[in-house]
Amino acid sequence: MLNYLISGISLGSVYAIIALGYTMVYGIAKMLNFAHGDVIMVGGYAAFCASTYLGWPIPLCILFSMMICTILGIVIEKLAYKPLRNATSLAVLITAIGVSYFLQNIALLIWTSNPKAFPNMANFIPAISLGDTTISSTTIITIIASVIIMIGLTLFTGKTKMGKAMRAVSEDKGAAQLMGINVNATISITFAIGSGLAAIAGVLLCSAYPTLMPTTGSMPGIKAFTAAVLGGIGSIPGAMLGGILLGILEKFAQAYISTQLSDAIVFAALIVVLLVKPTGLLGKKITEKV
């Protein structure tokens, strides 16, 4: 029981980090960055290559992976999403799906579909044993990392000048621009932060589940988006709450109901929540003005 709860929180923390990336981009650019899950995969491969082929130390691998993903995030935004700034959400979403497929298939060509064994990069502190259950090092680091990231992001968006600019752009792009905020730069930075977080999530995810494939990111990506929607999209604590709830739900469903049906149960939970509270658990209801 406790075992499942802890592994659920651990998985949920990874979802939460990914969901934070989704929620920030959605809050500011008002678009569902479908390719976010595949940025995780690229982050995983970048860390894998740095450590296995180049033999770099772990912190350097993680930094390298974050750097690659940050650049990738900015490039994707500039090339694919920026030309569609004023297009319908349908057009942007289809483009994002295209980017997602592009990344997956590029990875397939470079690294083939054979799964790579990912070295555990998150085991530098000792495991803790509570009675008969042992909490692994990876689990502890994942949970701590997600909490630090959430607090950091909350402070960043709340206290810094850039954070203020982000909130302004998220509320009203036009008015923000009139106040002298560089909207394009703000959106680029949001993508950079979201993609950097995706790299961390990629390393943590692959450390816990050490098979790396071109499709590694897509399912966690979709579930993390589910988590972001569950918690209320655009809200940072909501992404955290949604992620952890979803992780726990998934682990419990696997343990007590059926391994095969666990994904179905997770998605069914999303549908139920949206039915009852269409803006998610912590989302604000926005009335539409004509």
Partner 1 sequence: MGKKVNFLGKTNKNSLKGLINFGIIIVFYAFITILKGAGGLTNALEGQLIPICAYIIMALSLNLVVGISGELSLGHAGFMSVGAFTGVIVAGAMKYNGVNANAPRLIVAIVVGAILAAIAGILIGIPVLRLRGDYLAIVTLAFGEIIKNVLNCLYVGIDNAGLHFSVTDEAHMDMAAGGTTLVRGPMGAVGVAKASSFIAGIILILIVLFVIQNLVNSRTGRAIMAIRDNRIAAEASGINVTKYKMIAFVTSAGIAGAAGALYALNYSTIVPKKFDFNTSILVLVFVVLGGIGNMTGSIIAAAVLTVLPELFRQFQDYRMLVYAIVLILVMIATNNEKIKALWKRFSAIFSKKGGNVNE
Interface contacts to partner 1, rule CB under 8 A:
26, 31-32, 80, 83-84, 86-95, 97-102, 104-106, 108-109, 218, 222, 225-226, 229, 258, 260-261, 263-264, 267-268, 270-271, 274-275, 278, 288, 290
Tokens of 111: 């690294």
CA distance 231 to 269: 12
Provide the minimum distance between the beta carbon of 76 and partner 1 in the complex, in angstroms, as a whole number.
Answer: 10
Q: Of 91 and 128, which CB lies nearer to partner 1 in the complex structure?
A: 91
Chain CA centroid to CA 77, Å: 16
Provide the minimum distance between the beta carbon of 43 and partner 1 in the complex, in angstroms, as a whole number.
Answer: 19
Q: Which residues, in sequence order, are CB contacts of 113 under 8 Å at separation 6+?
A: 213, 214
- What is the maximum span of the chain, computed from C-alpha positions, in angstroms? 60
**Length of the chain as a residue count:** 290
Q: Of 142 and 226, which CB lies nearer to partner 1 in the complex structure?
A: 226
The backbone torsions φ and ψ at residue 211, rounded to the nearest 5 degrees and listed phi first, read -110, 125
Q: Of 2 and 97, which CB lies nearer to partner 1 in the complex structure?
A: 97
Q: Of 56 and 102, which CB lies nearer to partner 1 in the complex structure?
A: 102
| CB-based burial label for 2 (10 Å; 0-12, 13-18, 19+) | exposed
Q: Which residues, in sequence order, are CB contacts of 170 under 8 Å at separation 6+?
A: 27, 28, 234
Q: Of 35 and 145, which CB lies nearer to partner 1 in the complex structure?
A: 35
Provide the minimum distance between the beta carbon of 33 and partner 1 in the complex, in angstroms, as a whole number.
Answer: 10
The backbone torsions φ and ψ at residue 141, rounded to the nearest 5 degrees and listed phi first, read -60, -40
- Judge whether 202 and 72 are in contact, CB under 8 Å: no
Provide the minimum distance between the beta carbon of 103 and partner 1 in the complex, in angstroms, as a whole number.
Answer: 8
Q: Of 89 and 134, which CB lies nearer to partner 1 in the complex structure?
A: 89
Provide the minimum distance between the beta carbon of 232 and partner 1 in the complex, in angstroms, as a whole number.
Answer: 12
Provide the minimum distance between the beta carbon of 270 and partner 1 in the complex, in angstroms, as a whole number.
Answer: 6
The backbone torsions φ and ψ at residue 288, rounded to the nearest 5 degrees and listed phi first, read -90, 130
